């Protein structure tokens, strides 16, 4: 995966998003595409999830989503075919969701995870790869569930 990433948050995740963007750009040397929100005015997390995830699907890049708890935005993201979004609050979960689930979007809670832990989670997510093997069959079954629900591939 190239060193580009897509990020978005609602107002509840805005402050953490700003910290994560600086970390990605300055420490990890990523080019960051910020899909909003751009201030602390109230926005609806499903809208941000849709915008970021559609860009993830189109570009093949990873995404990061942040709302107050990470719950609503991750639920919204997982409604979009082709998105495997994992809400992580620790490094182990971030590592395993890449190794086992081939997650392409990371969700964080702006009001539940501190900035230093969030940076560590992001770094872990971005520096681990999908193991494939027996996990490939399971990820393919997730894709089949999507097809059954929508009737599309």
The Cα–Cα gap between 153 and 98 comes to 23
Cα–Cα distance measured from residue 69 to residue 79, given in angstroms and rounded to the nearest whole number: 18
Count the alpha carbons within 13 Å of 36 in the hemisphere toward its beta carbon: 16
- How many CB atoms lie under 10 A from the CB of residue 107? 28
- C-alpha separations of 67 from 7, 127, 130, 145 in Å: 11, 23, 26, 26
Q: How far is CA 17 from the centre of its chain?
A: 12
85 with 52: CB under 8 angstroms? no
Catalytic positions, written as ranges:
67, 100
């Amino acid at each position: 995966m190239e060193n580009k990433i897509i990020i978005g948050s609602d107002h509840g995740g805005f402050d953490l998003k700003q910290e994560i963007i600086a970390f990605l750009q300055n420490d990890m040397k990523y080019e960051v595409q910020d899909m909003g929100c751009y201030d602390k005015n109230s926005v609806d997390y499903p809208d941000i999830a849709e915008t970021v995830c559609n860009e993830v699907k189109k570009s093949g890049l990873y995404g990061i989503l942040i709302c107050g708890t990470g719950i609503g935005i991750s639920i919204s993201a997982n409604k979009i075919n082709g998105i495997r979004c994992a809400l992580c609050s620790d490094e182990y979960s971030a590592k395993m969701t890449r190794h086992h689930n081939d997650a392409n979007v990371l969700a964080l809670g702006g009001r539940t995870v501190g900035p230093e832990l969030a940076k560590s989670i992001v770094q872990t997510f971005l520096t681990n790869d999908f193991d494939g093997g027996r996990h490939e069959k399971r990820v393919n079954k997730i894709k089949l569930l999507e097809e059954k629900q929508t009737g599309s591939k």
